[in-house]
A = this chain, B = another copy of it.
Amino acid sequence: MPVPAGALAARLSLNQGSVDRWDLRQAVGGCARHGYPFIGPWRHRVAEVGLPAAARLVRDAGIAVSSLCRGGWFPAESAGERRRRVDDNLRAVEEAAALGTDVLVLVCGPASGRDIDGGRAMVAEGIAAVAPYAASCGVRLAIEPLHPMFAGDRSVVVTLAEALDLAGPYPASMVGVIVDVYHVWWDPTVYEQIARAGGEGRILGFHVSDWLAPPPDVLKGRGLMGDGVIELRRLRAAVDEAGYDGPIEVEIFNQGLWDLPGDELLALMKHRYLAYV
Protein backbone atom coordinates (compact mmCIF):
# COMPACT_ATOMS: atom_id res chain seq x y z
CA MET A 1 0.00 0.00 0.00
CA PRO A 2 1.97 3.03 -1.21
CA VAL A 3 1.45 6.13 0.91
CA PRO A 4 2.73 9.63 0.32
CA ALA A 5 6.37 9.67 1.46
CA GLY A 6 5.58 12.80 3.45
CA ALA A 7 3.01 11.00 5.57
CA LEU A 8 5.48 8.21 6.30
CA ALA A 9 8.34 10.64 6.98
CA ALA A 10 6.19 12.44 9.53
CA ARG A 11 6.00 9.23 11.60
CA LEU A 12 9.71 8.41 11.62
CA SER A 13 11.31 7.86 15.00
CA LEU A 14 14.89 7.01 15.91
CA ASN A 15 15.07 4.35 18.57
CA GLN A 16 18.25 5.32 20.32
CA GLY A 17 19.44 1.74 20.44
CA SER A 18 20.02 1.95 16.68
CA VAL A 19 22.91 4.41 17.13
CA ASP A 20 24.94 2.92 19.89
CA ARG A 21 27.85 5.32 19.58
CA TRP A 22 25.82 8.45 20.22
CA ASP A 23 24.72 9.83 23.56
CA LEU A 24 21.30 11.45 23.89
CA ARG A 25 22.51 14.93 22.94
CA GLN A 26 24.13 13.63 19.77
CA ALA A 27 21.11 11.48 18.91
CA VAL A 28 18.71 14.41 19.31
CA GLY A 29 20.97 16.55 17.15
CA GLY A 30 21.02 13.80 14.53
CA CYS A 31 17.22 13.61 14.54
CA ALA A 32 17.02 17.35 13.96
CA ARG A 33 19.55 17.28 11.11
CA HIS A 34 18.08 14.25 9.34
CA GLY A 35 14.38 14.94 9.73
CA TYR A 36 13.38 12.37 12.33
CA PRO A 37 10.43 14.06 14.06
CA PHE A 38 10.55 11.54 16.95
CA ILE A 39 13.09 9.83 19.15
CA GLY A 40 12.73 6.80 21.42
CA PRO A 41 15.40 7.21 24.12
CA TRP A 42 16.77 4.50 26.40
CA ARG A 43 16.81 5.02 30.15
CA HIS A 44 20.54 4.56 30.64
CA ARG A 45 21.14 7.25 28.02
CA VAL A 46 18.71 9.56 29.78
CA ALA A 47 20.48 8.87 33.09
CA GLU A 48 23.84 9.87 31.57
CA VAL A 49 22.53 13.36 30.87
CA GLY A 50 20.19 13.58 33.83
CA LEU A 51 16.41 13.61 33.49
CA PRO A 52 15.74 17.38 33.55
CA ALA A 53 18.51 18.07 31.05
CA ALA A 54 17.26 15.23 28.83
CA ALA A 55 13.74 16.63 28.85
CA ARG A 56 15.06 20.10 27.96
CA LEU A 57 17.24 18.68 25.21
CA VAL A 58 14.42 17.08 23.27
CA ARG A 59 12.03 19.97 23.90
CA ASP A 60 14.51 22.59 22.74
CA ALA A 61 15.29 20.59 19.61
CA GLY A 62 11.59 20.30 18.76
CA ILE A 63 11.85 16.49 18.71
CA ALA A 64 8.94 14.55 20.18
CA VAL A 65 9.50 11.44 22.30
CA SER A 66 7.71 8.41 20.84
CA SER A 67 8.35 6.11 23.80
CA LEU A 68 10.78 5.40 26.61
CA CYS A 69 12.76 2.15 26.56
CA ARG A 70 12.31 0.40 28.90
CA GLY A 71 10.50 -0.85 31.95
CA GLY A 72 9.65 -4.45 32.73
CA TRP A 73 12.06 -7.21 33.79
CA PHE A 74 9.61 -8.28 36.47
CA PRO A 75 10.39 -11.92 37.37
CA ALA A 76 12.90 -12.53 40.16
CA GLU A 77 13.43 -15.24 42.70
CA SER A 78 12.69 -13.29 45.88
CA ALA A 79 9.71 -11.10 46.74
CA GLY A 80 12.11 -8.36 47.82
CA GLU A 81 13.84 -8.33 44.47
CA ARG A 82 10.49 -8.30 42.67
CA ARG A 83 9.46 -5.25 44.74
CA ARG A 84 12.74 -3.58 43.79
CA ARG A 85 11.93 -4.23 40.12
CA VAL A 86 8.47 -2.73 40.54
CA ASP A 87 9.98 0.36 42.20
CA ASP A 88 12.33 0.72 39.27
CA ASN A 89 9.34 0.59 36.95
CA LEU A 90 7.64 3.38 38.93
CA ARG A 91 10.77 5.49 38.33
CA ALA A 92 10.61 4.62 34.63
CA VAL A 93 7.01 5.82 34.54
CA GLU A 94 8.06 9.15 36.06
CA GLU A 95 10.88 9.46 33.55
CA ALA A 96 8.53 8.83 30.64
CA ALA A 97 6.14 11.49 31.91
CA ALA A 98 8.98 13.98 32.42
CA LEU A 99 10.24 13.35 28.88
CA GLY A 100 6.78 14.07 27.50
CA THR A 101 5.86 10.63 26.24
CA ASP A 102 2.85 8.61 27.33
CA VAL A 103 4.36 5.26 26.26
CA LEU A 104 6.65 3.18 28.47
CA VAL A 105 7.91 0.09 26.64
CA LEU A 106 7.99 -3.06 28.78
CA VAL A 107 10.52 -5.78 28.08
CA CYS A 108 9.08 -8.20 30.56
CA GLY A 109 12.15 -10.22 31.52
CA PRO A 110 13.07 -13.90 31.67
CA ALA A 111 11.97 -16.41 34.27
CA SER A 112 14.29 -16.93 37.18
CA GLY A 113 15.28 -20.55 36.65
CA ARG A 114 13.25 -22.98 34.57
CA ASP A 115 9.68 -22.05 35.49
CA ILE A 116 8.53 -20.08 32.44
CA ASP A 117 4.86 -20.11 33.49
CA GLY A 118 5.87 -18.88 36.94
CA GLY A 119 7.79 -16.09 35.21
CA ARG A 120 4.70 -15.22 33.23
CA ALA A 121 2.65 -14.99 36.43
CA MET A 122 5.28 -12.64 37.90
CA VAL A 123 5.00 -10.43 34.83
CA ALA A 124 1.25 -10.20 35.34
CA GLU A 125 1.83 -9.27 39.00
CA GLY A 126 4.41 -6.68 38.04
CA ILE A 127 2.10 -5.03 35.56
CA ALA A 128 -0.67 -4.99 38.17
CA ALA A 129 1.68 -3.26 40.59
CA VAL A 130 2.74 -0.57 38.11
CA ALA A 131 -0.32 0.12 35.97
CA PRO A 132 -2.36 2.25 38.42
CA TYR A 133 0.54 4.60 39.16
CA ALA A 134 1.37 4.79 35.45
CA ALA A 135 -2.22 5.75 34.69
CA SER A 136 -2.11 8.45 37.36
CA CYS A 137 0.95 9.86 35.56
CA GLY A 138 -0.72 9.66 32.15
CA VAL A 139 1.66 6.92 30.99
CA ARG A 140 0.52 3.77 29.20
CA LEU A 141 2.39 0.52 29.63
CA ALA A 142 3.33 -0.99 26.26
CA ILE A 143 4.07 -4.71 26.52
CA GLU A 144 6.55 -5.67 23.82
CA PRO A 145 6.56 -9.36 22.98
CA LEU A 146 10.11 -10.36 22.07
CA HIS A 147 11.13 -12.99 19.56
CA PRO A 148 11.00 -16.49 21.09
CA MET A 149 14.78 -16.72 20.80
CA PHE A 150 14.86 -14.32 23.76
CA ALA A 151 12.50 -16.44 25.89
CA GLY A 152 15.39 -17.70 28.04
CA ASP A 153 17.18 -14.47 28.79
CA ARG A 154 15.00 -11.44 28.04
CA SER A 155 11.26 -12.01 27.89
CA VAL A 156 8.83 -14.75 28.77
CA VAL A 157 6.32 -12.79 26.67
CA VAL A 158 6.94 -13.95 23.12
CA THR A 159 3.76 -13.50 21.11
CA LEU A 160 1.28 -10.71 20.48
CA ALA A 161 -1.48 -13.03 21.67
CA GLU A 162 0.25 -13.46 25.00
CA ALA A 163 0.88 -9.71 25.33
CA LEU A 164 -2.76 -8.95 24.57
CA ASP A 165 -3.91 -11.53 27.10
CA LEU A 166 -1.72 -9.80 29.70
CA ALA A 167 -3.15 -6.41 28.73
CA GLY A 168 -6.72 -7.74 28.74
CA PRO A 169 -7.61 -6.95 32.37
CA TYR A 170 -6.85 -3.24 31.86
CA PRO A 171 -8.48 -0.59 29.73
CA ALA A 172 -6.55 0.28 26.58
CA SER A 173 -5.87 3.69 28.12
CA MET A 174 -3.64 1.91 30.65
CA VAL A 175 -1.98 -1.08 28.97
CA GLY A 176 -1.26 -1.88 25.33
CA VAL A 177 1.37 -3.52 23.15
CA ILE A 178 4.28 -2.72 20.86
CA VAL A 179 4.33 -4.40 17.46
CA ASP A 180 7.97 -4.90 16.49
CA VAL A 181 8.30 -6.62 13.14
CA TYR A 182 11.55 -8.33 14.12
CA HIS A 183 9.88 -10.01 17.05
CA VAL A 184 6.57 -11.05 15.48
CA TRP A 185 7.01 -11.50 11.72
CA TRP A 186 7.33 -15.32 11.94
CA ASP A 187 4.01 -15.79 13.77
CA PRO A 188 1.36 -17.59 11.66
CA THR A 189 -1.29 -15.58 13.54
CA VAL A 190 0.42 -12.19 13.34
CA TYR A 191 -2.16 -10.48 11.12
CA GLU A 192 -5.02 -11.81 13.19
CA GLN A 193 -3.34 -10.56 16.37
CA ILE A 194 -2.56 -7.14 14.87
CA ALA A 195 -6.24 -6.79 13.96
CA ARG A 196 -7.19 -7.87 17.48
CA ALA A 197 -4.75 -5.37 19.03
CA GLY A 198 -6.14 -2.61 16.84
CA GLY A 199 -9.72 -3.54 17.57
CA GLU A 200 -8.95 -3.18 21.27
CA GLY A 201 -7.14 0.12 20.64
CA ARG A 202 -3.97 -1.30 22.16
CA ILE A 203 -1.28 -0.66 19.54
CA LEU A 204 1.04 1.82 21.24
CA GLY A 205 4.00 1.57 18.91
CA PHE A 206 5.36 0.03 15.74
CA HIS A 207 9.06 -0.84 15.45
CA VAL A 208 10.87 -1.73 12.24
CA SER A 209 14.09 -3.43 11.20
CA ASP A 210 14.56 -6.60 9.12
CA TRP A 211 15.28 -10.29 9.62
CA LEU A 212 18.48 -11.46 7.96
CA ALA A 213 18.42 -15.08 6.82
CA PRO A 214 20.30 -16.67 8.42
CA PRO A 215 20.69 -14.24 11.32
CA PRO A 216 24.39 -13.43 11.84
CA ASP A 217 23.99 -13.01 15.61
CA VAL A 218 21.34 -13.62 18.27
CA LEU A 219 21.37 -10.16 19.82
CA LYS A 220 23.09 -7.89 17.29
CA GLY A 221 21.95 -9.52 14.08
CA ARG A 222 19.07 -7.28 13.04
CA GLY A 223 19.06 -6.05 9.47
CA LEU A 224 18.42 -2.76 7.76
CA MET A 225 14.95 -2.58 6.21
CA GLY A 226 15.10 -4.21 2.78
CA ASP A 227 18.06 -6.48 3.55
CA GLY A 228 15.97 -9.30 5.02
CA VAL A 229 12.85 -11.37 4.55
CA ILE A 230 10.19 -9.49 6.52
CA GLU A 231 7.15 -8.28 4.59
CA LEU A 232 7.54 -4.79 6.01
CA ARG A 233 4.99 -2.99 3.88
CA ARG A 234 2.36 -5.65 4.46
CA LEU A 235 2.87 -5.46 8.20
CA ARG A 236 2.85 -1.66 8.19
CA ALA A 237 -0.36 -1.69 6.15
CA ALA A 238 -1.90 -4.11 8.66
CA VAL A 239 -0.94 -1.89 11.58
CA ASP A 240 -2.31 1.17 9.75
CA GLU A 241 -5.48 -0.74 8.94
CA ALA A 242 -5.78 -1.62 12.61
CA GLY A 243 -5.99 2.09 13.36
CA TYR A 244 -2.47 2.91 14.50
CA ASP A 245 -1.21 6.17 13.03
CA GLY A 246 1.51 7.04 15.54
CA PRO A 247 5.29 7.10 15.32
CA ILE A 248 7.25 4.27 13.71
CA GLU A 249 10.54 3.57 15.46
CA VAL A 250 13.54 2.28 13.58
CA GLU A 251 15.22 -0.08 16.05
CA ILE A 252 18.21 -1.99 14.71
CA PHE A 253 20.88 -3.66 16.83
CA ASN A 254 23.70 -4.52 14.47
CA GLN A 255 27.40 -4.15 15.16
CA GLY A 256 28.24 -3.39 11.54
CA LEU A 257 25.72 -0.56 11.44
CA TRP A 258 26.72 0.69 14.89
CA ASP A 259 30.25 1.02 13.52
CA LEU A 260 29.12 3.50 10.83
CA PRO A 261 29.42 7.24 11.45
CA GLY A 262 26.13 8.29 13.06
CA ASP A 263 25.12 10.75 10.37
CA GLU A 264 25.65 8.22 7.61
CA LEU A 265 23.63 5.68 9.56
CA LEU A 266 20.70 8.06 10.12
CA ALA A 267 20.62 8.98 6.43
CA LEU A 268 20.76 5.30 5.43
CA MET A 269 18.04 4.21 7.84
CA LYS A 270 15.72 6.99 6.73
CA HIS A 271 16.29 6.10 3.07
CA ARG A 272 15.49 2.44 3.73
CA TYR A 273 12.53 3.35 5.91
CA LEU A 274 10.97 5.39 3.13
CA ALA A 275 11.76 2.76 0.50
CA TYR A 276 10.63 -0.37 2.35
CA VAL A 277 8.25 0.51 5.19
Binding site for B on A (CB under 8 A): 110-111, 113-116, 120, 147-149, 151-153, 158-159, 161-162, 185-188, 211-215, 217-219, 221, 228-231
Given contacts A148-B147, A149-B149, A215-B218, contact A231 B188 (CB under 8 A): no
A215 to B231, CA, bound (A): 26
Main secondary structure of the interface of A (DSSP, over half): loop
Which residue of B is nearest A112, CB measured?
Answer: B229
Interfacial chain B residues near A153, Cβ < 8 Å: 213-214
Which residue of B is nearest A111, CB measured?
Answer: B229
Residue from B158, B159, B188, B229 in contact with A114 in the complex, judged by beta carbons closer than 8 Å: B229
Q: Would you call B215 and A152 a contact (CB within 8 A)?
A: yes
Interfacial chain B residues near A187, Cβ < 8 Å: 148, 158
Interfacial chain B residues near A114, Cβ < 8 Å: 229-231
Which residue of B is nearest A191, CB measured?
Answer: B117
Q: Would you call A186 and B214 a contact (CB within 8 A)?
A: no
A229 to B110, CA, bound (A): 10
CB distance from A178 to the nearest CB of B (A): 17
Known: A152-B214, A162-B188. 16 other contacts (CB 8 A): A110-B229, A113-B229, A116-B186, A116-B231, A147-B149, A148-B148, A149-B215, A151-B185, A152-B228, A152-B229, A158-B186, A159-B188, A161-B188, A214-B218, A215-B218, A218-B218
A218 to B222, CA, bound (A): 13
CB distance from A164 to the nearest CB of B (A): 11
Q: Would you call A231 and B152 a contact (CB within 8 A)?
A: no
A114 to B231, CA, bound (A): 6
Given contacts A158-B188, A188-B162, contact A211 B147 (CB under 8 A): no
